[in-house]
Amino acid sequence: MSDQNPVFIPGPTNIPDRLRAAMQVQTRDHRAPDFVETFAPVLENTKRVFGTRTGKVITFPTSGTGGWEAAICNTLSPGDTVLVARYGMFSHRWIDLCQRHGLDVQIIECPWGSGAPADKFEAALTADKARDIKAVLVTHNETATGVKSDIPAVRAAMDAANHPAMMFVDCVSSLASMEFRMDDWGVDIAVSGSQKGFMLATGMAILGVSPKALAAMETAELPRTFFDFRDMMAANATGGFPYTPPLQLIYGMRESLKMLFEEGLENVYARHFRLAEGVRRAVDAWGLRLVAERPELYSDTVSAIYVPDGFDSNALTDQAFNAYGVSFGIGLGEMNGKAFRIGHLGSLTDVMVLSGLATIEMAMADLDYPIELGSGVAAAQEYYRGHRAALIKTAA
Ligand SMILES: Cc1ncc(COP(=O)(O)O)c(C=O)c1O
């Protein structure tokens, strides 16, 4: 029965029954004339989630990491300079990927728990008189630390430096859960995936690509085959795919978009804020501390929480799993052993979050944490009672 428990990892997320059913389709011919009727509206409707009218949506059968690779290899050439700040495991891994592709990566080191340093970006861009920097890479929601970065502030920094670099944003763990406005924020490529806010199985990278990035594609010289935007766009133009598409995920995506629009994107964001705020109240009641340094950095999709000195966060997540059959996120990289993570994104309600808080409290009590059993749950209950959610029933 423990397979009925929700997961509290920050993706892949719980898959609602409605989406599991939507992905449960028999093979259909992706070269049949009716495939276009399924696929083209999916691409079109996904634009709304990115907040773009002028950009294109491009998908690949891969995970978010493949989306990072697609972003850089379609727009950059060997030896090009990119500017990026490292403040967690995912910004670190994107840096590593760029380095392995032969890019010159200018890195701004930041403490884990902080976010994208707009002021330092501005200084680096202003100092780049030769305009060598071709792209600024930003992780919107650092899933390892539960930190949300201010993308408009990065855009403002780029504008203040009057620098022509493109801006690429990793929104893998924020899109379809937290506000994202690709056009308004001047994002050139936004990289996401199917298994977080879209509540689907892993297997599809989903990118929003601006006209400026598409223009860069014409001269970019990094090698690409599977991830070539040009092949994908040429095939998509007639409703097709350059190779075999992940058909079941495309059907899932069609239904996921329906669910998101039925709830309303603004309500989706508000729900994520409310769920996250309940978790934050619980953390406070336990007397524990978030990894995110300041309230404006708090992520609404994942909270990374320091365990008290002398405790091992891996023992805590193991206890929750072994004793109660519930998964929480482990501490990644620098945070390993020091912090655990509660994922609160995708298909979740207040009631589900309360069950997660109750479970981690039991695991903490089992391991003699200095917390009062029930204190976090009570704090979240009070918050949820006072900020009751509209009961939204999604059609079956
Ligand atoms: C912010 C962020 N970027 C990138 C990735 C990598 O995505 P994937 O594991 O789908 O390759 C993840 C995965 O959790 C992530 O959270």
Give the model's confidence band at 134: pLDDT under 50 very low, under 70 low, under 90 confident, else very high: very high
Q: What are the backbone angles phi and psi of residue 283, rounded to the nearest 5°?
A: -60, -45
The residues that bridge with 141 in the sheet, in sequence order, are 148
Mean pLDDT of 162-187: 98
> How far does the centroid of ligand 1 lie from the alpha carbon of residue 374, in Å?
33
Give the model's confidence band at 5: pLDDT under 50 very low, under 70 low, under 90 confident, else very high: very high
**Is the confidence at residue 277, as pLDDT, over 90?**
yes
> How far does the centroid of ligand 1 lie from the alpha carbon of residue 142, in Å?
9
Asked if 317 and 330 touch (Cβ cutoff 8 Å), the reply is: yes
Ligand 1 proximity of 355 Cβ (cutoff 6 Å) = no
Asked if 257 and 43 touch (Cβ cutoff 8 Å), the reply is: no
- Ligand 1 atom at shortest distance from the alpha carbon of 171: 1
> How far does the centroid of ligand 1 lie from the alpha carbon of residue 316, in Å?
23
- Ligand 1 atom at shortest distance from the alpha carbon of 139: 1
CATH number of 18-261: 3.40.640.10
Ligand 1 proximity of 192 Cβ (cutoff 6 Å) = no
**Is the confidence at residue 396, as pLDDT, over 60?**
no
- Ligand 1 atom at shortest distance from the alpha carbon of 140: 1
Instruction: Report CA-CA distances (Å) from 389 to 271, 275, 280, 281.
Output: 7, 10, 17, 17
**Is the confidence at residue 27, as pLDDT, over 70?**
yes
Alpha-carbon gap, residue 8 to 361, rounded angstroms:
14
**pLDDT of 365:** 98
**Is the confidence at residue 393, as pLDDT, over 70?**
no
Asked if 94 and 137 touch (Cβ cutoff 8 Å), the reply is: yes
> How far does the centroid of ligand 1 lie from the alpha carbon of residue 65, in Å?
6
Strands 133-139, 104-109: pairing kind:
unpaired
Percent above pLDDT 90 for the chain: 94
Alpha-carbon gap, residue 352 to 14, rounded angstroms:
11
CA dihedral 90, 91, 93, 94 (to 10 degrees): 120
Asked if 52 and 211 touch (Cβ cutoff 8 Å), the reply is: no
| Sequence-ordered strand ranges (E) for 255-374 | 289-290, 302-306, 339-343
Alpha-carbon gap, residue 219 to 174, rounded angstroms:
30
Q: Between these two residues, 271 and 238, which has the higher pLDDT value?
A: 271
**pLDDT of 116:** 98
Domain positions in the chain: 2-11+263-395, 18-261
Asked if 316 and 340 touch (Cβ cutoff 8 Å), the reply is: yes
Among residues 353, 67, 29, which one has the least CA distance to residue 224?
A: 67
Using one digit for the tens of pLDDT, what is the confidence trace for 56-111?
Answer: 999 999 999 999 999 999 999 999 999 999 999 999 999 999 999 999 999 999 99
The 3-state DSSP class for residue 207 equals: strand
Give the model's confidence band at 3: pLDDT under 50 very low, under 70 low, under 90 confident, else very high: confident
Ligand 1 proximity of 67 Cβ (cutoff 6 Å) = no
Tokens read off for 3: 């397979």
> How far does the centroid of ligand 1 lie from the alpha carbon of residue 368, in Å?
33
Ligand 1 proximity of 143 Cβ (cutoff 6 Å) = yes
**pLDDT of 239:** 84
Q: Answer whether 2-11+263-395 and 18-261 agree in fold.
A: no
**pLDDT of 395:** 56
* Contact partners, residue 96, CB within 8 Å, separation at least 6: none
Instruction: Report CA-CA distances (Å) from 195 to 54, 126, 176.
Output: 25, 38, 11
Among residues 292, 334, 339, 289, which one has the least CA distance to residue 314?
A: 339
Q: Is the dihedral of CA 71, 77, 79, 82 positive or negative?
A: negative
**pLDDT of 102:** 98
Using one digit for the tens of pLDDT, what is the confidence trace for 136-151?
Answer: 999 999 999 999 999 9
Give the model's confidence band at 1: pLDDT under 50 very low, under 70 low, under 90 confident, else very high: confident
**pLDDT of 2:** 76
What's the CATH class of domain 2-11+263-395? alpha beta
Q: What rounded mean pLDDT belongs to the chain? A: 97
Give the model's confidence band at 263: pLDDT under 50 very low, under 70 low, under 90 confident, else very high: very high
Using one digit for the tens of pLDDT, what is the confidence trace for 372-389?
Answer: 999 999 999 999 999 987
Q: What are the backbone angles phi and psi of residue 158, rounded to the nearest 5°?
A: -65, -40
> How far does the centroid of ligand 1 lie from the alpha carbon of residue 139, in Å?
10
Ligand 1 proximity of 139 Cβ (cutoff 6 Å) = yes
**pLDDT of 33:** 86
**pLDDT of 394:** 60
Alpha-carbon gap, residue 338 to 165, rounded angstroms:
37
Strands 81-86, 104-109: pairing kind:
parallel
**Is the confidence at residue 168, as pLDDT, over 60?**
yes
